[in-house]
Amino acid sequence: MTVSDIVKSFGLKIRAGKNRLDEEVRGGYTGDLLSDVIAHSRKGNIWVTIQTHPNIVAVATMKELAGIILTGGREPDSETLRKAEEEGMPILVSSLLAFELTGKLYQMGISGMG
C-alpha cells in the first residue's frame, strides 16, 4: 500500500510532499509525544498525530517515515510546510480524530508492527 492509496481511501488533503505519494507504507504509528515517536516508530510508517509544528518534519525525516497525517482538521503552520517541502515529506490532513483514523488504517491492513 502507498501513501497515495491512503490519500484516496480517506479523501485526505495533501499539504506537502506531493512527489513522494508513491512511498510504500510498511506500518503505522499514532502518537503526539515526539520522543515516543522517535523511540518506537519504524522506517516506512505513516504517522498519525495532532502536532503541527516544524519539529514533526525533523522527526519524520530522521525516522524515514512514509508521511505524516494531521488529524481533527488541524493544519500545519507555514514553517512546517516549508520544511516538509524541503525534505519531500508528505503532510496530509484528515478531519477524522486520531482514534478514528488509526482504526480505519488498521482495518485497511496497516499494523503497528511495520
For residue 23, give the 3-state DSSP assignment: coil
What's phi and psi for 33, nearest 5 deg?
-90, 110
For residue 58, give the 3-state DSSP assignment: helix
pTM: 0.96
**Domain 3-107 -> CATH class:** alpha beta
73-76: long-range contacts at Cβ-Cβ below 8 A with a sequence spacing of 24 or more?
74/50, 75/15, 76/15, 76/16, 76/52
Share above pLDDT 70 across residues of the chain, in percent, rounded to a whole number: 98
* 46 close to 26: Cβ distance less than 8 angstroms: no
Distance between CA atoms of residues 83 and 19, nearest Å: 14
Supply the pLDDT for residue 23.
94
Supply the pLDDT for residue 104.
97
pLDDT band per the 50, 70, 90 thresholds, residue 114: low
Share above pLDDT 90 across residues of the chain, in percent, rounded to a whole number: 97
What are the pLDDT digits (tens) for 49-88?
Answer: 999 999 999 999 999 999 999 999 999 999 999 999 999 9
User: What are the extents of the domains in the chain?
Assistant: 3-107
Distance between CA atoms of residues 98 and 15, nearest Å: 18
Supply the pLDDT for residue 18.
96
Compute the mean pLDDT over every residue in the chain, rounded to the nearest whole number. Answer: 97
pLDDT band per the 50, 70, 90 thresholds, residue 112: confident
